[in-house]
Amino acid sequence: MRRVHLEAAEDHVQRLARLSDPLGAVKELVWNALDADATRVDVVLHRSPLGAVERVTVRDDGTGMAPEALAAAFDRIGGSWKKWTAGTLLKQRTLHGSNGQGRLRAYALGDHLRWTTVADGVGGRSRTEVSAHAGARNDFLIGDSEPTRSPTGTLVEAWGKQSPRLDRLALRANHRRLTTELAPYLTAYPEVTVVYDGVAVDPRTSVQRTTVYPLSFADGEEAALKVIEWSSPVDRELHLCDQHGIPVGSVDVGIRAPGFDFTAYVLWHATADHVGDVHLGDGHDSEVTALVAAAREQLRAHFRGRADDRRREVVESWRTAGDYPYNGDGGLEQETFDLVATTVHRHIPRRGNQRRATLALLREVLRARPDRVADLLGTIFKLSDDDRSQLDRVLRETDREIRAATTVADRLEVIAALRRLTADGASPDPLRAVLADNAWVFGERHGLLAADRTLDVVLDRHAGPDADLLVARTRREHERLQHLVVLGSDKAGAKDLTQLRAYAEAVAADTRYRGIRVDWEVWLVVGTSEVGGTGGGVRVRTWNEVLLECTDRVRFFEQSAAYPDRARRA
């Protein structure tokens, strides 16, 4: 037996051990096994009678460590043989590690460590044990080698430590984390089997979709982005990998993609050369920063498209079942309904009648109380904090669309009502009722006008043309008044236009407005007209002209309101 001393400061060794990350230690030991050409790796969590994890073992059928190579493997940090070869020794598979730090990570799993390795060396096949203890992390005891006929491979054992961190290794989430890290490797080498706590790590059982995109960044550098979507919850991570998909490091994924479970992998041939930049953060100016930024932008575009795909799939299933509350194209309101309904679709009843009623109720809530949608749905569906946060985010993004949809629908109803009334030759009273709060009909600039008693008195004082007063509204702005006066009649000729101008001049000259800056607009709106045009502060229009202009403005507003949202989703 001989003692090998690791030439490094104890505090440095402790930092490299990362004692608070036992799953990271398991990953390192698995990667070490795969780098040794293992085709099977078993991670076993040994439990006490009370269920606590008290021992962790990692067994592989790789090439093992030959006796003559053991001292070099344990007496230094760095200098790994992996730096000097492009692939594994026998199978030429892609290598993961090259820093010679994996053995130190095992201290996160136990205070007592033992490597039992069988390998073919200079003197034939032999079995050797290496042991270490947390009380002297820099020292490794290498036992005498013994000839053996056993298959090659290595068994790593860690024990003597009990902590909640170790117990959490048994969580199913850790199996998923190992799956997401190993997915590209296991996909590239399907002959490899990794078993964690009795369950095979098999990405094929939980991968829903894999998409690969080319990336360009930093003045012509080329890389690839692989996006794997999973059927079960995973931690979202953006792995920075070499060109073969072997992770070198990871960063925060940096995007929102509600409702999707995914892992992203950036594949770049020079990632290993920039491993130090991976951990410097987004503020560091480097090729890695540019690469991560390009990957995140592509991820955003990917999940905008996937969200649209998912919405269409869900909505189409509702249509097929006859539960969808819209027929045809409902415009912005329907788009908003689709966004909100598909966001909470997991909470909507699956049975036909209940689902149909719930979707119809949601449509009415969006129409009547768009500002209360989040509160009402939170109460009805008892949404979790995460679901509520996701819904709030969707509503914030679509608030403008909701308001635009409501405005468009309301204005089209007003236009339709005016068409019916003017076509039927209705009396002035119904027209006044519709126009009372809708002065925008005569131009968007009139949308904020209000009733004014002084104006009403002045109009009553002066005898107007043979027409009915429909609208009288005022606004004060920048120390001046703006008045809108609209009269209605069946038809208009030259005489009516002359009377209208005289009326407008008389009203404008009223003593009540002496010394006050006033802008006047006086309209005569008729069914038919022998004259037309604008001049002297008065204008004559037919109802058909007015309503056509209104419709054009509303449609333009509808298209303009929809454009930013469509651009954002494109």
More confident of the two residues 532 and 150: 150
Residue 248 confidence (pLDDT): 84
How much is the pLDDT for 65?
A: 95
**Mean pLDDT of the 33-54 span:** 96
The whole-angstrom distance between residue 29's C-alpha and the CA centroid of its chain comes to: 34
Residue 437's Cβ-count burial label (10 Å; 0-12, 13-18, 19+) is exposed
Q: Residue 567: is its pLDDT beyond 50?
A: no
* 4: β partners: 140
Residue type, 269: H
Question: Residues 397-434: pLDDT tens digits?
Answer: 666 666 777 788 889 999 999 999 988 877 888 998 99
Q: What are the residue ranges spanned by the domains of the chain?
A: 2-196, 206-295, 322-413, 428-555
For 293-329, b/e burial (b = at least 16 CB within 10 A) is ebbbebbeebbeebbeeebeebbeebeeeebbbbeee
Could you write out the DSSP letters of every residue in 348-416?
S--SHHHHHHHHHHHHHHHHH-GGGHHHHHHHHHT--HHHHHHHHHHHHHHHHHHHHHHHHHHHHHHHH
Look at residue 21 and tell me whether its pLDDT is greater than 90. yes
Residue 324 pLDDT exceeds 70:
yes
- Strand intervals (E) in 84-123: 112-121
Of 127 and 469, more confident? 127
- E strands present in 218-287: 221-230, 238-241, 247-251, 262-267
- Mean pLDDT (whole number) for 3-11: 82
Instruction: Decide if pLDDT at 67 tops 90.
Output: yes
**DSSP 8-state secondary structure symbol assigned to residue 509:** T
Low-confidence winner among 47-51, 69-73, 379-383, 541-545 (lowest mean pLDDT): 379-383
- Strands 480-492, 247-251: pairing kind: unpaired
Beta bridge partners, 236, equal: none
- Residue carrying structure tokens 């008389």: 506
Instruction: Choose among 420, 423, 415, 372: nearest CA to 395.
Output: 372
- Could you give the residue ranges of the DSSP H alpha helices within 283-372? 287-321, 331-343, 352-368
The CA-based angle 190-191-196, given to 5 degrees, is 85
Name which of 110, 141, 144, 111 is nearest 127 in CA terms.
Answer: 144
DSSP symbol at 441 = G
φ, ψ (nearest 5 deg) of residue 378: -60, -40
Q: Provide the pLDDT confidence category of residue 534 given band limits of 50, 70 and 90.
A: low
pLDDT digits (tens, 9 = 90+) for 429-456: 899 899 988 999 998 888 888 888 888 8
CATH 3.60.20.10 for domain 2-196, yes or no, is no
Residue 533 has pLDDT above 80, yes or no: no
Nearest to 41 by CA among 59, 23, 24: 59
Amino acid at 283: G
Average confidence (pLDDT) over 524-530: 82
Tell me what pLDDT residue 334 has.
85
Average pLDDT, integer, range 533-555: 84
Q: 246 with 93: CB under 8 angstroms? A: no
| Residue 37: closest CA among 125, 100, 96 | 96
Reported as type and span, the H/E element at residue 493 is none
Instruction: Describe the crossing of helices 385-423 and 373-381 by its angle, rounded to 10 degrees.
Output: 130
pLDDT value at position 81? Answer: 53
Distances (CA, A) of 113 to 49, 139, 162, 232: 22, 11, 14, 34
Q: Is the dihedral of CA 35, 37, 39, 44 positive or negative?
A: negative
| pLDDT reading at 347 higher than 90 | no
Pairwise CA distance, residues 513 & 412, whole Å: 37
Q: How far is Cα 74 from Cα 141, in angstroms, rounded to an integer?
A: 10
**Average per-residue pLDDT in the chain?**
86
Q: Report the Cα 175 to chain-centroid distance in Å.
A: 25
pLDDT of residue 464: 59
Alpha-carbon separation of residue 217 from 247, 253, 256, 441 (angstroms): 19, 17, 22, 52
- The label of the residue with tokens 């119904």 reads 430
Identify whether the C-beta of residue 459 lies closer than 8 Å to the C-beta of residue 475.
no
Percentage of residues in the chain with pLDDT exceeding 70?
A: 90
Determine the pLDDT at residue 219.
81
Q: Which pLDDT band holds residue 537 (cuts at 50, 70, 90)?
A: low
What pLDDT shows up at residue 566? 44
Copy the structure tokens of residue 336: 């908003």
Q: What pLDDT shows up at residue 398?
A: 65
* φ, ψ of residue 26 in degrees (nearest 5): -60, -45
The two three-digit tokens of residue 195, written as one number: 């078993």
Spell 167-204 as b/e; 16+ CB within 10 A means b: bebeeeebbbbbbbbbbbbbeeeeebebebbeeebbbe
Min mean pLDDT across 11-15, 135-139, 237-241 is at 11-15
* Alpha-helical segments (H) within 424-508: 428-435, 453-461, 494-508
- Segment 76-121, tens digit of pLDDT: 776 555 555 667 888 888 888 655 567 889 999 999 999 999 999 9
pLDDT band for 339, please (50, 70, 90 cuts).
confident
pLDDT digits (tens, 9 = 90+) for 268-312: 998 878 766 655 555 566 788 899 999 999 999 999 999 889 889
CATH number belonging to domain 428-555: 3.40.1350
Residues 128-151: tens digit of each pLDDT: 999 999 999 899 999 999 999 999
Lowest mean pLDDT, pick from 89-98, 372-381, 460-469: 460-469
Q: What amino acid occupies position 5?
A: H
pLDDT at 169: 96
If residue 79 lies in a helix (H) or strand (E), which one and from where to where? Answer: none
DSSP H or E stretch at residue 518: strand 518-529
